[in-house]
Structure 1
Amino acid sequence: MERVLTRKGEATRARIVAGAAEVLRERGPSVTTLDDVRLRTGTSKSQLFHYFPGGKDDLLLAVARYEGSRVLEDQQPHLGCLDTWDAWYRWRDAVVERYRAQGDTCPLGSLYAQIGRSTPGARAVVVQLLAEWQEHLATGIRALRDGGRLPASIDVDQAAAALLAAIQGGVSIMLSTGRITHLEAALDWHIAQLRSAGEDLPGRMVE
């Protein structure tokens, strides 16, 4: 049965997760210990196991969920209102800035590598994050279509999936090389492809 926490308990757990995320970004999951987290967050060992009975694995999953939510939050409010081309370019710039600031490290990626992609909990976090991200993109493409900027025949889900795959490919190359140019190219190319799909529409909206 899932444990129900008091408001104070929820705040304490959230503080531990945020502090653990900071330690993991600095040191990496392979060398970070519960004592490191305990010292950073000012909590006792009994407190850690109260909120994370499974120990480090439970804590890593909680941090993975936290980092996953930040991936989407850092793209807001742009990701939630992709109804004009100007809005898409603002979102594009927000994505590039997020990963430029992050550099050639990926807290979320290193956590998945440490937990193991075959772990059901870790896989669920990945699936949920990507599904939410893709649905935001699909909602934006539908808004362009419904606003007369894209043809009614466009395959919204396929376009959103292709764009998300391109982003992840650009991020993977950035993590390997330290260069963000491939991510920028992927975003620019896919937005240009979308725009070109609507160029011949009669009475199309121009921004």
Structure 2
Amino acid sequence: MPQTPTAKGRATRARIIEGAAEVLRERGVAFTTLDDIRGRTGTSKSQLFHYFPDGKDELLLAVAQFEADRVLEDQQPHLGRLDSWESWQQWRDAVVERYERQGDECALGALFLQVGRARPGARAIVAELMRQWQGQLAAGIRALQANGLVPSSALDVDRTAASLLAGVQGGVAIMMSTGDATHLKAALDTGIEHLRAMAGAPGTATTERNCP
């Protein structure tokens, strides 16, 4: 029977994953070896394989999960409290800032290219990330409805959340290819404007901004 990891063991594994993520971001997936990761994390070869018996691919999947979690964490606290137009605007700005800071290097995408997107583990990570992201957007729309800012019968909440997420992902893909965030901003602003139109609220997500 497999042993249940101790608190120390879980902390060590998390430290290895976080250290590996730092190295992979700095050097790139294709140019990072297990020796690089062991050097950064102060981990012996036997210790590394104790926590990741299948070697580099298993570690890369763990780092991919770490990076996927960061996608949502970087949008907090705004993504978790989309209950006003102001909070939607703050979320919009946080998303733009995150991806402008990331630039054309996507650690998560690079990891999936290395381990293979078709692998069940990789697909599960992406599917769960999108499920959670869309779920929080849908919760935000329902919060607007609960606060009387959007009529309850005005739109299909889950479909609207899916459309907004698809727009964000498309904008990010174009930004990574061109270095220009215009399409990402347009997708976010149009999605929020659509919600405001359902409410009949004056102004738009862009005109309320206090600075350009």
Please say if 1:165 is aligned against 2:166: yes
For 1:87-130, what per-residue CA distance to the aligned partner results, in whole angstroms no more than 9, with x for missing partners? 00011111111111111111011111111111000000000000
Instruction: Return 5+ residue gaps in structure 1 as ranges.
Output: 201-206
Aligned residue identity for 1:167: V
Alignment of 1:5-16 (within 5 A): 5-16=5-16
Of all paired residues, the percent bearing the same amino acid is 65
Once the two structures are overlaid, the 10-residue window that deviates more, 9-18 or 146-155, is 146-155
Q: TM-score, normalised by structure 2?
A: 0.91
Task: Determine the C-alpha separation between the residues in 2 that align with 1:195 and 1:78.
Answer: 18
Partner of 2:194: 193
Partner of 2:129: 129
Deviation at 1:3, TM superposition (A): 4.8
C-alpha root-mean-square deviation of aligned residues, in Å? 1.4
Secondary structure of the corresponding residue to residue 26 of structure 1: helix
Deviation at 1:30, TM superposition (A): 1.9
Instruction: Return 5+ residue gaps in structure 2 as ranges.
Output: 202-207
Partner of 1:26: 26
Partner of 2:184: 183
Task: Determine the C-alpha separation between the residues in 2 that align with 1:74 and 1:7.
Answer: 26
Once the two structures are overlaid, the 10-residue window that deviates more, 170-179 or 126-135, is 170-179
Deviation at 1:5, TM superposition (A): 1.2
Deviation at 1:34, TM superposition (A): 0.7
Secondary structure of the corresponding residue to residue 62 of structure 1: helix
The alignment covers a number of residue pairs equal to 201
Deviation at 1:2, TM superposition (A): 5.7
Alignment of 1:28-177 (within 5 A): 28-153=28-153, 154-177=155-178
Secondary structure of the corresponding residue to residue 30 of structure 1: helix
Secondary structure of the corresponding residue to residue 43 of structure 2: coil
Once the two structures are overlaid, the 10-residue window that deviates more, 3-12 or 65-74, is 3-12
Aligned residue identity for 1:166: G
Task: Determine the C-alpha separation between the residues in 1 that align with 2:2 and 2:123.
Answer: 20
Deviation at 1:31, TM superposition (A): 2.1
Task: Determine the C-alpha separation between the residues in 1 that align with 2:77 and 2:143.
Answer: 15
Task: Determine the C-alpha separation between the residues in 2 that align with 1:90 and 1:8.
Answer: 38
Aligned residue identity for 1:194: L
Once the two structures are overlaid, the 10-residue window that deviates more, 106-115 or 135-144, is 106-115
Runs of 4+ in 1 over 4 A off after TM superposition: none
Aligned residue identity for 1:174: M
Q: TM-score, normalised by structure 1?
A: 0.93
Task: Determine the C-alpha separation between the residues in 2 that align with 1:59 and 1:2.
Answer: 19
Aligned residue identity for 1:16: I
